[in-house]
Structure 1
Amino acid sequence: MVTTLKTQIVAQDVKGAKATLAKLRPKVNSARDLTSDPIWRAGEVVPFVGPNLSAVRTLAGATDSVVVDAIDPLVGLLDTVSPDSIKPVNGAINLKPVIAATPKVDAAAAAFAKATKQVESIDTSSTIGPVTKATKQMAEMLTKVDSQVVQVKNALHVLPGAMGADRPRNYLIVFENSGELLPNGGTTGSMALLQLDNGKINLVKQSSASGRDFPAFSDYVVPIPEDVKKLYPYGLGRQVQDLTITPRFSLTYEVAKTMWKTAKGDDIDGVIAMDTVTLGNLLKATGPINVLPGLQINSENAVRILLIDIYTMYPDPATVDKINQTISVGAFSKILGGGANPKALLATLLKSGEEGRVKMWTGNKAEQDLIKQTPFYSEPPVSTADTDKFGVYFMDQTPSKMDYFLKAKVDVSQAVCSDKHRYVFTRVALNSTAPANAAEILPPYVMGNGVLVAQGYVQIGTSVYAPKGYKVLGTAIDAKPSAAPMIGTDGEYTVAQGVQQMGPGQTMTLDVLFDAGETKTKKLNATVTPMVNPIVTTYGTLDCAAIGK
Structure 2
Amino acid sequence: MSILQVVDWKSLKPNGNGMQLEPLLAAQPKLASAAHAVRQSSNRLNAINVDELMPQISSPLIQARSELSSLRDGLDSAADVAQILPSMMGQGAPRSYLLLVQNNAELRATGGIPGALAIVTVNKGKLSIGGQTSATALGPADPRVEVDPEQQQIYTTRMGKFMQDVNLTPDFPTAALTAKSMWQQKTGQKVDGVLAIDPVALGYVLEATGPVQVSDPALKELSHGTLPEELTAKNIVTTLLSDVYTKIPEPELQDLYFAGVAREVFAKLSSGSGDAQRLIDVLSRGASERRVQLWSAHTSEQAVVSKYPISGSITGDNVYPSQFGVYFNDGTGAKMDFYIKRTVQLIEECPVNGYAEVKARVTSTNTAPKDAATSLPDYVTGGGIFGVPPGSVQTNVTAYGPVQSHIETVFVAGKKTGFASYRHSGRPVGAITVRLAPGESSTIDFNFGKIVQHAVPQVSVTPTLQSQKEVALPPRTAECIPPA
Q: Same fold (TM over 0.5)?
A: yes
Partner of 2:184: 261
Distance (Å, rounded) in 2 between the aligned partners of 1:422 and 1:119 = 30
Partner of 2:195: 272
Answering whether residue 420 of structure 2 is matched by residue 490 of structure 1, we say: no
Is 2:128–2:267's contact at 8 Å kept on the other side of the alignment?
Answer: no
Deviations 1:371-397 (A, max 9, x none): 233330212256999953211111100
Is 2:383–2:390's contact at 8 Å kept on the other side of the alignment?
Answer: no
CA gap of 1:397–1:390, structure 2 versus 1, over 3 A, is: same
Q: CA deviation at 1:193?
A: 1.1
Deviations 1:42-63 (A, max 9, x none): xxxxxxxxxxxxxxxxxxxxxx
Answering whether residue 241 of structure 2 is matched by residue 307 of structure 1, we say: yes
Deviations 1:185-231 (A, max 9, x none): 11002122122233333323211112xx2021254312431x32231
User: What is the alpha-carbon root mean square deviation over aligned residues?
Assistant: 3.0
Partner of 1:43: none
Distance (Å, rounded) in 2 between the aligned partners of 1:125 and 1:522 = 21
Answering whether residue 412 of structure 2 is matched by residue 471 of structure 1, we say: no
Deviates more, 1:489-498 or 1:196-205: 196-205
Match of residue 203, structure 1, among 129, 136, 140:
129
Answering whether residue 162 of structure 2 is matched by residue 239 of structure 1, we say: yes
Tell me the amino acid that sits aligned with residue 282 of structure 1: V
Distance (Å, rounded) in 2 between the aligned partners of 1:466 and 1:113 = 31
Is 1:398–1:449's contact at 8 Å kept on the other side of the alignment?
Answer: no
Deviations 1:285-320 (A, max 9, x none): 232233324622211011111111111122233432
Answering whether residue 464 of structure 2 is matched by residue 531 of structure 1, we say: yes
Tell me the amino acid that sits aligned with residue 82 of structure 1: W
CA gap of 1:95–1:186, structure 2 versus 1, over 3 A, is: same
CA gap of 1:108–1:532, structure 2 versus 1, over 3 A, is: same
4+ aligned runs moved over 6 Å, structure 1: 117-128, 382-386
Distance (Å, rounded) in 2 between the aligned partners of 1:497 and 1:520 = 22
Partner of 1:460: 395
CA gap of 1:117–1:521, structure 2 versus 1, over 3 A, is: closer
Tell me the amino acid that sits aligned with residue 464 of structure 2: M
Answering whether residue 160 of structure 2 is matched by residue 160 of structure 1, we say: no
Match of residue 403, structure 1, among 331, 337, 340:
337
CA gap of 1:130–1:479, structure 2 versus 1, over 3 A, is: closer
Corresponding pairs, count: 466
TM-score using structure 1 length: 0.77
Partner of 2:12: 86
Q: CA deviation at 1:541?
A: 4.0
Distance (Å, rounded) in 1 between the aligned partners of 2:392 and 2:426 = 34
Is 1:91–1:202's contact at 8 Å kept on the other side of the alignment?
Answer: no
Question: Rg larger in 1 or in 2?
Answer: 1
- SS of 2:146's partner is coil
Question: Which of 1 and 2 has higher RCO (CA within 8 Å, sep 6+)?
Answer: 2
Is 2:133–2:256's contact at 8 Å kept on the other side of the alignment?
Answer: no
Answering whether residue 371 of structure 2 is matched by residue 444 of structure 1, we say: no
Tell me the amino acid that sits aligned with residue 2 of structure 2: D
Partner of 1:339: 273
Distance (Å, rounded) in 1 between the aligned partners of 2:244 and 2:192 = 33
Tell me the amino acid that sits aligned with residue 476 of structure 1: F
Structure 2 spans left out of the alignment, 5+ residues = 215-219
CA gap of 1:384–1:326, structure 2 versus 1, over 3 A, is: closer
Deviates more, 1:277-286 or 1:114-123: 114-123
Partner of 2:217: none
Q: CA deviation at 1:538?
A: 4.2
Is 1:429–1:510's contact at 8 Å kept on the other side of the alignment?
Answer: yes
Deviations 1:62-91 (A, max 9, x none): xxxxxxxxx23533x36xx222x2223325
Partner of 2:205: 282
- SS of 1:179's partner is coil
Match of residue 174, structure 1, among 100, 104, 128:
100
Is 1:477–1:498's contact at 8 Å kept on the other side of the alignment?
Answer: no
CA gap of 1:388–1:94, structure 2 versus 1, over 3 A, is: closer
Match of residue 450, structure 2, among 483, 493, 516:
516
Q: CA deviation at 1:131?
A: 4.8
